């Protein structure tokens, strides 16, 4: 709410103009640290979807013809906007998501890497040329934008995930429609303002707030050529099925259950420090969080002592508090689900070395807080292991060694990310070649690739063939053309078909 007590409305950006849209539905936006309503977000109807796509379609025609140098100049200007306004954007993220400011700044920094990669678009879109494939015949290839593309992004990274998609889609010549999470929608409007201030033409970047109505409207709209999605596996399956049925390109990244394997020769202090950060950073609400530790039997007790001490030292407070290490969960419903999963595990025989249920922060008793939780003695049939908890819960399974750990990782339906802590190069090489997982860290807990590689998992963590950002994004957001040309010196024509047609 603003200072007058009037609830702020978070609306759309269509054709370069802010608008509440034609839809009358609204949804509350909460401050997770207090549990109080901070704003309302407009939920788009089909008329709003049609308006956003129509504006983007017009804008895409001109933007596709914009010279690469001018597109790159907009990318560089957007980069400067993002750097200059990082603190402002981070504060917006913390207010609606709840994560600590340092985490919010960090996600912007990872998104900035993709922007910087997109700045090199003139190099990235260079085609290929074959001279004199036959007498006086040359062949060359190049890539063209698709037109209008959409990105459907999750609540846990309201800046980073849109920045995984939009810079590459726009740099390659498309118009991009962002459908952010309705739980923390305000960051999207600030990103739209940055794009406008960077000189991007109206309609090339649009924001369509909403829920499933907006999502399905984009998935079925005939003028949307491609859809990028990051979120839960259930929704990723829906997005992939519906959009591919409409003939669209789709990259849909789903859930995760990321394992970290700690072998007997690992540096336990290093492992404990990294596992704590990877499990409890951003309150565990990230698809690359380490939520399972597979620990060699002979060092399990020693590692658990370190993990318990590290977890108890995590300072839980509102994200805006400079002393906070971990903020609240995004919603009351998510908080209650996490606590229920922990309760079921304990009731089923697991031991809570650190129990974050019922955690309260003085002065913020209405906030959606869950404290760091470490569970020992978890089995693979418990929800705490089988489901993506998406909260600050680290479950520990004891293993005989590397072979058993690899079997457990590969038996899991998810294949997003995994990590190995070891001093053995042989073990590391065996692990990275044996696990059925898309992203692997060796003595690195969260293997999120830098912006000039591509991000994506395997199995139930990815639907579609393409990963996001990096080189794969160039191919995803464009399609190739091959031209065979001859400029004959006479009007003579040959009807012979062969390798020397022009000869």
Tokens representing 220? 């079925």
* Residue 287 is among the residues annotated as catalytic for this protein: yes
Q: State phi, psi for 207 to the nearest 5 degrees.
A: -125, 125
Compute how many other C-beta atoms are within 10 angstroms of the C-beta atom of residue 76. Answer: 14
Rounded to whole angstroms, what are the CA distances from 388 to 24, 226, 383, 393, 440? Answer: 34, 27, 8, 10, 18
Nearest of 387, 445, 372, 370 to residue 98 by alpha carbon: 370
Contacts of 388 (CB under 8 A, 6+ apart): 232, 233, 255, 256, 257, 291, 414
Tokens representing 417? 């990310």
Compute how many other C-beta atoms are within 10 angstroms of the C-beta atom of residue 419. Answer: 27
Q: Tokens 């109505």 correspond to what residue?
A: 213
What is the H or E stretch that residue 252 is in? Answer: strand 249-253
Q: Give CA–CA dist 227/224, Å, rounded.
A: 8
Can you spell out the DSSP letters for 83-104?
HHTHHHHHHHHHHHH---HHHH
Tokens representing 99? 């994560």
- E strand residue ranges, 411-477: 414-415, 417-421, 439-442, 458-459, 462-463
Q: Which residues pair with 206 in a beta bridge?
A: 177
Q: Give CA–CA dist 353/311, Å, rounded.
A: 9
Q: Tokens 């913390």 correspond to what residue?
A: 94
Q: Which residues of 11-45 are buried (b: 16+ CB within 10 A; e: fewer)?
A: bbbbbbeeeebebeebbebbbbbbbeebbbbbbbb
Q: Tokens 């609606």 correspond to what residue?
A: 96
Active-site position among 13, 29, 224, 287: 287
- The SS3 call for residue 206 is strand
Nearest of 48, 72, 52 to residue 60 by alpha carbon: 52
Which residues are the active-site residues? Answer: 287
């Amino acid at each position: 709410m603003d200072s007058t007590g009037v609830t702020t409305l978070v609306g759309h950006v269509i054709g370069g103009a802010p608008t509440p849209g034609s839809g009358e539905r609204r949804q509350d936006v909460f401050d997770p640290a207090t549990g109080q309503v901070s704003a309302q977000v407009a939920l788009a109807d089909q008329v709003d979807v049609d308006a956003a796509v129509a504006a983007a379609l017009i804008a895409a025609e001109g933007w596709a013809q914009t010279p690469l140098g001018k597109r790159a100049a907009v990318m560089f200007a957007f980069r400067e906007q993002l750097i200059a306004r990082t603190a402002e954007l981070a504060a917006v993220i913390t207010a609606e998501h709840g994560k600590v400011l340092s985490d919010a700044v960090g996600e912007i920094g990872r998104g900035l890497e993709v922007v910087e990669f997109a700045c090199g678009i003139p190099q990235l879109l260079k085609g290929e040329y074959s001279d004199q494939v036959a007498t006086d015949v040359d062949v060359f290839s190049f890539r063209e934008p698709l037109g209008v593309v959409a990105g459907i992004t999750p609540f846990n990274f309201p800046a980073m995930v849109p920045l995984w998609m939009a810079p590459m889609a726009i740099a390659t010549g498309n118009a991009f429609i962002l459908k952010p999470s309705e739980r923390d929608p305000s960051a999207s409007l600030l990103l739209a303002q940055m794009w406008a201030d960077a000189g991007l033409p109206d309609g090339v970047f649009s924001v369509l707030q909403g829920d499933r109505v907006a999502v399905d409207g984009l998935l079925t709209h005939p003028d949307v050529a491609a859809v990028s999605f990051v979120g839960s596996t259930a929704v990723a399956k829906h997005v992939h099925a519906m959009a591919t049925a409409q003939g669209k390109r789709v990259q849909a990244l789903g859930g995760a259950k990321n394992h970290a394997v700690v072998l007997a020769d690992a540096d336990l202090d290093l492992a404990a420090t990294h596992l704590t950060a990877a499990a409890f950073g951003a309150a565990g609400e990230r698809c690359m969080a380490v939520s399972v530790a597979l620990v060699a039997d002979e060092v399990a007790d020693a590692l658990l002592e370190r993990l318990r001490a590290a977890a108890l030292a995590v300072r839980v407070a509102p994200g805006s508090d400079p002393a906070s290490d971990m903020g609240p969960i995004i919603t009351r419903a998510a908080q209650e689900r996490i606590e229920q999963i922990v309760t079921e595990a304990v009731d089923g025989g697991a031991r809570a070395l650190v129990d974050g249920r019922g955690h309260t922060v003085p002065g913020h008793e209405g906030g959606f807080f869950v404290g760091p939780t470490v569970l020992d003695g978890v089995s693979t049939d418990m929800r705490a292991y089988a489901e993506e908890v998406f909260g600050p819960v680290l479950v520990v399974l004891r293993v005989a060694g590397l072979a058993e750990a690899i079997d457990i990782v590969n038996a899991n339906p998810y294949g997003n990310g995994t990590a190995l802590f070891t001093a053995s190069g042989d073990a590391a090489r065996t692990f990275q070649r044996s696990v059925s997982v898309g992203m692997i860290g060796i003595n690195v807990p969260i293997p999120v690739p830098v912006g000039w590689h591509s991000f994506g998992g395997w199995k139930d963590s990815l639907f579609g063939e393409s990963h996001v950002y990096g080189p794969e994004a160039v191919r995803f957001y464009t399609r190739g053309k091959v031209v065979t040309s001859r400029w004959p010196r006479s009007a003579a024509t040959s009807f012979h078909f062969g390798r020397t047609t022009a000869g």
